[in-house]
């Protein structure tokens, strides 16, 4: 009954937050574009030279590019790439960060000190330039991008989980689990971790937006998702050469990035507010 009440209270808080509802609608719409709309769209690589650089019109709502490909179709298919990168990269970062932070916070002492110094060292490196350096040494591909973003984005999650574990490890329910002979791994993952996941949910939601921006920036620089695979980032760079005459090639992919990132940020802020017990009803 307590779990049901908490879930209902969380949903009620979310629904009262207009910005969170707006963000949720944007996220759901982007999911629709990514996983449903492509079945109703034409091939994003279909070339029609006779219609190259056509402005927005009833035939092509968002215009065509320099090869006559429909911009709307490529944006819709590019949504799959962006959301895939965001979810897989943050999934990798969350698994590493939660495990690392849980171990550091649970054992504390010298173990915690050594492990957190590694986190501090990792945080000293400019993340984006570190990603650039690694990607430059590897073959540019969507899988390499997801893995690298995940491997360089776990430190913040680790610090949050570690802080939660430091405050929870001396609670009565943890002491009771130790008394009855529970193993460390069981206590960590069965008893403490479920109570420490709230900040991870918020960080993951906000992190998806960051991962989408990073992928778009890498693709814009030419070391991300490679053509002809449609990506919002490589669509931006493709439209740079004709920005003065074919503004729609960069404007609409840029709007897609803006709206998606805004949606996840609004949703993440709403989740944080809904999970914060210090906020009144």
Please spell the DSSP secondary structure of the chain, one letter per residue: -HHHHHHHHHHHHHHH-HHHHHHHHHHHHHHHHHHTGGGGS--TT---GGGTTPPS-SSSTT-B-TT--BHHHHHHHHHHHHHHHHHHHHHHHHHHHHHHHHHHHHH-HHHHHHHHHHHHHHHHS-HHHHHHHHHHHS---HHHHHHHHHHTS-HHHHHHHHHHHHHHTTSHHHHHHHHTT--HHHIIIIIIGGGG-HHHHHHHHHHHHHHHHHHHHHHHTTSSSPTTS--HHHHHHHHHTTTTT-THHHHHHHHHHHHHHHHHHHHHHHHHHHH-TTS--
Q: 43 exposed, middle or buried (CB, 10 Å; 0-12, 13-18, 19+)?
A: exposed
Q: Cβ of 72: how many Cβ atoms within 10 Å? A: 19
Mean pLDDT along residues 243-250: 84
Residue 3: band (very low, low, confident or very high) from pLDDT cuts 50, 70, 90: very low
Position 280 in a domain: no
Position 255 in a domain: yes
Residue 278: band (very low, low, confident or very high) from pLDDT cuts 50, 70, 90: low
Q: What is the CATH number of the domain that holds 26?
A: 1.10.3720.10
pLDDT in tens, 125-180: 877 887 888 877 877 778 888 888 898 889 999 999 998 888 888 888 888 888 88
Residue 99: band (very low, low, confident or very high) from pLDDT cuts 50, 70, 90: very high
pLDDT value of residue 102:
92
pLDDT value of residue 2:
40
With a cut of 90, say whether residue 91 has pLDDT above it. yes
Q: Look over the chain and give the mean of its residue pLDDT values, rounded to a whole number.
A: 84
Position 153 in a domain: yes
Position 68 in a domain: yes
Mean pLDDT along residues 233-251: 84
Q: What is the maximum alpha-carbon separation in the chain?
A: 77
With a cut of 90, say whether residue 93 has pLDDT above it. yes
Domain that holds residue 57: 2-275
Position 281 in a domain: no
Number of domains in the chain: 1
pLDDT value of residue 277:
55
Phi, psi of 230 (to 5 degrees): -75, 130
With a cut of 90, say whether residue 14 has pLDDT above it. no
Percent of residues, the chain, with pLDDT higher than 90 = 18
Position 176 in a domain: yes
Beta carbons within 8 Å of 78's beta carbon, 6+ residues apart: 44, 230, 231, 232, 235, 253, 256
pLDDT in tens, 39-67: 777 778 788 888 888 888 888 888 888 88
């Amino acid at each position: 009954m307590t779990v049901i009440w908490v879930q209902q209270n969380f949903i009620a808080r979310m629904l009262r937050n207009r910005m969170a509802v707006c963000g949720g609608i944007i996220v759901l719409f982007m999911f629709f574009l990514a996983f449903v709309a492509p079945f109703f769209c034409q091939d994003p690589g279909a070339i029609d030279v006779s219609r190259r650089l056509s402005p927005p019109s009833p035939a092509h709502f968002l215009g065509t590019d320099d090869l006559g490909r429909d911009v709307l179709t490529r944006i819709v298919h590019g949504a799959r790439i962006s959301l895939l990168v965001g979810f897989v990269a943050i999934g990798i970062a969350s698994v590493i960060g939660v495990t690392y932070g849980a171990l550091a916070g649970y054992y504390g002492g010298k173990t915690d000190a050594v492990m957190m110094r590694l986190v501090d060292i990792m945080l000293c490196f400019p993340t984006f330039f570190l990603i650039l350096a690694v990607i430059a040494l590897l073959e540019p591909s969507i899988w390499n991008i997801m893995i690298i973003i995940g491997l360089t984005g776990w430190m913040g999650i680790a610090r949050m989980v570690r802080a939660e574990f430091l405050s929870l490890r001396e609670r009565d329910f943890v002491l009771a689990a130790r008394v009855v002979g529970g193993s460390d791994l069981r206590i960590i993952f069965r008893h403490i971790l479920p109570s420490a996941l709230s900040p991870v949910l918020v960080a993951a939601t906000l992190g998806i937006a960051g991962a989408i921006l990073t992928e778009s920036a890498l693709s814009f620089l030419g070391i991300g998702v490679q053509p002809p695979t449609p990506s919002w980032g490589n669509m931006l760079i493709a439209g740079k050469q004709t920005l003065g005459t074919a503004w729609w090639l960069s404007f609409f992919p840029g709007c897609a990035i803006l709206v998606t990132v805004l949606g996840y940020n609004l949703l993440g802020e709403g989740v944080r507010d809904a999970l914060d017990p210090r906020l009144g009803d």
